[in-house]
């Protein structure tokens, strides 16, 4: 590889500043990217990484500062100009149209709209060549809606390469991949670099950054706080620079397991489109224990969460809550049986954006005393309870009447926590509980889960973040295509070994649960 210091600067961000009302998302950020370089943009959630990349890609306009590509200033706020200048972006949330084929998605927008006919033959040939050159195997005529997450990401990358991107931006690309798929992705990226592309890689995963990047730029609260070559540093220094102080992960003492509180016996549920249902899953959640569920999203976690949350019933097999008879299973029944549910998406499922904090706090309890009596609401009582939650969980807000949409993600999550934990639940379903939160909120949520565990609750932690699972769980299962792996005790498996199960191979070797 040519010496990084002398290679040409292909991308320069010059004192980029972006404000959203009172919040300064990017504060005079400057960054250089040289040809053939992989620069990692590191920072916790809310540090301003995605905003910066959106400005680069033209989806936002910076308030101050300039973007220069290959020495020329990029017209701001214009994704088309960015694409034409050779900037390609692989978004964190894929920008693909499910009802169209791979070929359609890749060629979308690449031909002038006034063209009378699309040239599919040429497009096909070009995609075939790119697939071969960059190890991105994909069927051009497949409907994107039927592809796996890994395959969809390949389409996203193909989109950028098809448009002859010289600069590739990847936003948290490994969040949805198994360890093996991550290796494949890195192979693709190394191939790209060898062919002269330059890469900006956004991540919060320190070991990956050390693996793939030449240089790291660290953002904290919108400012660049450090910049270093990966050869000159290590993960601890990176973590410290990210948070601005020495990071100490909470010391997690092992739990003391008690009786099983919730059991699934060979439960099967039907598939929902491309989301697999449960395939004869047997699972036991014990009191005083955190059970971690690892796995790439879309492998049946939603089916499991829906089942335990009361949104679905087993098609075959049994859900066992230790009571004699489970007459009618529903979300309300789940709440009645002491299950606290923290949903995956606090905006879509966990809260009602235009309801006040009070109205959100009573979503699960409004129909019984003390919140209401014989159909008549007791608003003063509801407000008082909400005040208690606000104090108890340190929720930053103007008051219980505030519309919850005005709160930050972390404060919203705290309200959800408060709402479900106040009832002293014996089973907690925590589905991606810290997604999108800053490190302060992450630690808070983890603390609450550990406290609940120590009080005797059974916690099911579903997360895409293997680090989180491995740090907090007493026992770990892996989910792949609706199948559940055997239980692994804390500390007994390495990430790579878990990765084998995440990719589905552990099941094939006949080590799967007996049905």
Partner 1 sequence: MRLEPIANPSLARSTLPPVLAIVATVVVASLLAMLAGANPFAVLGLILKGAAGSQFAVLETLNRATPLIFTGLAVAVAFRARLWNIGAEAQLYAGALMTVVLGTGVLSWPAAALLPTLVLVSMLAGAVVLLIPALLKVRFGVDEVVTTLLFNFIFLLFISLLLEGPLKDPMGMGWPKSERLIAEARLPRIIEGLRLHWGFALALIAAGLVWLVERRTTLGYEMRAVGLNREAARFAGIPVNAVLIKTALLSGGLAALAGFSEVAGVKGSLTLDLSPGFGYTGIIVAMLALLNPLGVIAAALFVAGIFVGADSMSRAVGVPTYLADIMLATALLLMVLAILLTRFRVVRG
Partner 2 sequence: MDIFDILLSASFWAAAIRIASPLIFATLGELICERAGVLNLGIEGIMVAGAFAGWMAVYSGLGLWPGVAVAMVVGMGFGAVHSLLTVPFGLSQHVVGLGVTLLATSSTYYAYRLALPEVTSPPKIMAFKPWEIPLLSDIPLIGPALFSQTPLTYLAFILVGVVSLVLYRTPLGLALRAAGENPAAVAAQGLSVTGLRMGAVIVGSGLMAVGGAFLTMSAFDSFFFEMVNGRGWICIALVVFGAWKPGKALLGAVLFAAFDALQIRVQQTPLGADIPYQIFLMTPYVLSILALIVMSRRAEVPAALMVAFNKGER
Residues that bind partner 2 (CB under 8 A): 20, 54, 58-60, 78-80, 82-84, 89, 91, 93, 95-100, 104-105, 107-118, 159
Q: Which 8-state DSSP code applies to residue 19? A: E
Min separation Cβ 375 and partner 1, Å: 5
Q: Kindly list the distances between the CA atom of residue 387 and the CA atoms of 3, 391, 414, 417, 449, in Å, as whole numbers in the listed order.
A: 60, 6, 13, 14, 22
* One-letter-per-residue 3-state SS of 23-41: EEEEEEEEEEEECCCEEEE
375 binding partner (options partner 2, partner 1, none; Cβ < 5 to 8 Å by kind): partner 1
Choose the one of partner 2, partner 1, none that binds residue 129, judging by a C-beta under 5 to 8 angstroms depending on kind: none
331 binds, among partner 2, partner 1, none (CB under 5 to 8 A by kind): partner 1
Nearer to partner 1, 105 or 386 (CB): 386
CB 200 → partner 1: shortest distance, Å?
22
Q: Minimum distance from CB of 36 to partner 2 (Å)?
A: 25
Minimum Å gap between C-beta 117 and partner 1 is 33
Q: Select the binding partner of residue 354 from partner 1, partner 2, none (C-beta < 5 to 8 A, by kind).
A: partner 1
**Do 91 and 176 contact (CB within 8 A), yes or no?**
no
In the bound complex, what is the minimum distance in angstroms from residue 94's beta carbon to partner 2? 8
**In this complex, which beta carbon is closest to partner 2, that of residue 114 or of residue 376?**
114
**How far is the C-alpha of 267 from the C-alpha of 76, rounded, in Å?**
53
Q: 490, 172, 479: which is closest to 296 by C-alpha?
A: 479
* CB closer to partner 1 out of 63 and 208: 63
Which of partner 1, partner 2, none binds 95 (CB below 5-8 Å, type-dependent)?
A: partner 2
Q: Which residues contact 21 (CB under 8 A, 6 or more apart)?
A: none
Do residues 293 and 498 lie in contact, with contact meaning Cβ atoms separated by under 8 Å? no
Number of H-type helices and E-type strands within the chain: 17, 22
Of these partners, partner 1, partner 2, none, which one is at the site of residue 411 (CB under 5 to 8 Å by kind)?
Answer: none
Token pair 């309870």 is at which residue?
385
Q: How far is the CB of 113 from partner 2 (least distance, A)?
A: 4
Residue with tokens 């330059």, as numbered in its chain: 198
Residue 440's binding partner among partner 2, partner 1, none (Cβ under 5 to 8 angstroms by kind) is none
Which tokens in the block code for residue 251?
């010391």
Rounded CA gap, 150 and 127, in Å? 17
Calpha distance 476→223 (Å, rounded): 37
Structure token pair of residue 157: 């990358």
Tokens 């360890």 locate to 179
Least distance from partner 1 to the Cβ atom of residue 306, Å: 9
Name the percent of the chain in helix, strand, coil, to the closest 5: 35, 25, 40
Which among partner 1, partner 2, none contacts residue 353 (Cβ within 5 to 8 A by kind)? Answer: partner 1
What whole-number distance in Å separates Cα of residue 59 and Cα of residue 298?
28
Closer to partner 2 by CB, 60 or 507: give it. 60
CB closer to partner 1, 198 vs 351: 351
Give the residue among 467, 443, 486 at the shortest CA–CA distance from 476: 486
Tokens of 395: 């929720």
Query: Which of partner 2, partner 1, none lies near 54, with the C-beta cut-off 5 to 8 A by kind?
Result: partner 2
Query: What does 343 interact with, of partner 1, partner 2, none (CB < 5 to 8 A by kind)?
Result: partner 1
The minimum distance between CB 456 and partner 1, in angstroms, equals 24
Which CB sits closer to partner 1, 136 or 460? Answer: 460
- Written as six digits, the tokens of 332 are 């309300």
* E strands present in 153-248: 167-171, 198-203, 215-220, 223-229
**For partner 2, which is the closer residue by CB, 373 or 405?**
405
Least Å distance between CB 52 and partner 2?
Answer: 13
- Least separation in angstroms between CB 237 and partner 2: 31
Cα 269 from Cα 303, distance rounded (Å): 7
Structure token digits, residue 387: 């005040």
Q: Which residues bind partner 1 (CB under 8 A)?
A: 20-21, 60-61, 76-77, 309-311, 330-332, 334-335, 341, 343, 348-355, 359, 363-364, 366-367, 372, 375-377, 379, 405-406
SS3 label, residue 78: coil
Q: Which is nearer to partner 2, 97 or 229 (CB)?
A: 97
Q: Residue 58 Cβ, how far from partner 1 at the closest point, in Å?
A: 9
Nearer to partner 1, 77 or 258 (CB): 77
Any alpha helices (H) in 213-298, and if so which ranges? 235-243
- Tokens at 59, concatenated: 């989806």
Q: Which helix (H) or strand (E) holds 483?
A: strand 483-484
Q: How far is the CB of 275 from partner 2 (least distance, A)?
A: 15
Please choose, from the candidates 498, 74, 27, the residue with its C-alpha nearest in 3D space to the C-alpha of residue 219: 27
- Dihedral pair phi/psi, residue 459, rounded to 5°: -115, 130
- Partner from partner 2, partner 1, none contacting 15, C-beta within 5 to 8 A by type: none
Q: Decide which of partner 2, partner 1, none touches 21; Cβ closer than 5 to 8 Å per partner kind.
A: partner 1
């Amino acid at each position: 590889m040519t010496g990084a210091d002398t290679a040409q600067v292909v991308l320069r961000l010059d004192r980029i500043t972006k404000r959203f009302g009172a919040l300064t998302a990017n504060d005079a950020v400057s960054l250089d990217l040289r040809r053939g370089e992989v620069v990692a943009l590191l920072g916790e959630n809310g540090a301003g990484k995605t905003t910066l990349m959106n400005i680069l890609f033209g989806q936002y306009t910076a308030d101050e500062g300039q973007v220069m590509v290959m020495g020329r200033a990029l017209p701001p706020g214009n994704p088309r100009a960015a694409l034409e200048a050779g900037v390609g972006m692989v978004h964190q949330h894929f920008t693909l149209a499910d009802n169209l084929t791979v070929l359609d998605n890749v060629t979308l927008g690449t031909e002038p709209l006034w063209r009378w006919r699309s040239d599919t033959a040429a497009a096909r040939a070009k995609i075939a060549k790119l697939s071969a050159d960059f190890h991105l195997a994909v069927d051009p005529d497949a409907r994107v809606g039927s592809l796996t997450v890994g395959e969809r990401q390949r389409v996203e990358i193909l989109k950028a390469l098809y448009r002859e991107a010289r600069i590739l931006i990847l936003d948290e690309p490994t969040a949805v991949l198994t360890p093996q798929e991550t290796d494949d992705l890195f192979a693709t990226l190394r191939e790209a670099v060898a062919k002269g592309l330059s890469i900006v890689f956004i991540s919060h995963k320190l070991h990956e950054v050390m693996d793939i990047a030449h240089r790291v730029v660290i953002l904290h609260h919108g400012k660049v706080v450090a910049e270093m070559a990966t050869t000159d540093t290590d993960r601890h220094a990176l973590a410290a620079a990210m948070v601005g102080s020495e990071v100490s992960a909470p010391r997690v003492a092992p739990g003391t397991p008690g009786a099983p509180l919730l059991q699934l016996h060979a439960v099967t549920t039907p598939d929902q489109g491309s989301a697999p249902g449960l395939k004869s899953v047997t699972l036991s959640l014990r009191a005083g224990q955190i059970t971690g569920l690892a796995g790439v999203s879309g492998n049946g976690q939603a089916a499991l969460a829906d089942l335990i949350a009361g949104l679905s019933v087993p098609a075959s097999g049994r859900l066992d809550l230790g009571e004699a008879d489970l007459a009618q299973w529903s979300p309300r029944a789940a709440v009645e049986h002491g299950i606290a549910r923290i949903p995956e998406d606090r905006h879509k499922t966990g809260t009602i954006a235009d309801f006040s904090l009070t109205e959100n706090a009573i979503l699960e309890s409004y129909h019984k005393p003390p919140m209401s009596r014989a159909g008549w609401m007791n608003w003063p009582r509801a407000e008082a309870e909400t005040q208690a939650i606000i104090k108890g969980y340190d929720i930053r807000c103007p008051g219980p009447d505030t519309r919850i949409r005005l709160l930050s993600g972390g404060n919203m999550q705290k309200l959800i926590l408060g709402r479900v934990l106040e009832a002293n639940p014996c089973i907690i379903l925590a589905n991606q509980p810290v997604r999108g939160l800053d490190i302060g909120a992450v630690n808070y949520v983890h603390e609450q889960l550990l406290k609940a565990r120590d009080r005797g609750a059974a916690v099911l932690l579903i997360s895409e973040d293997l680090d989180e699972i491995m740090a907090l769980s007493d026992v770990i299962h892996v989910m792949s295509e609706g199948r559940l792996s055997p239980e692994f005790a804390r500390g007994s498996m390495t990430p790579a070994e878990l990765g084998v199960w995440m990719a589905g191979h552990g099941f094939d070797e006949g080590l799967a649960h007996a049905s």
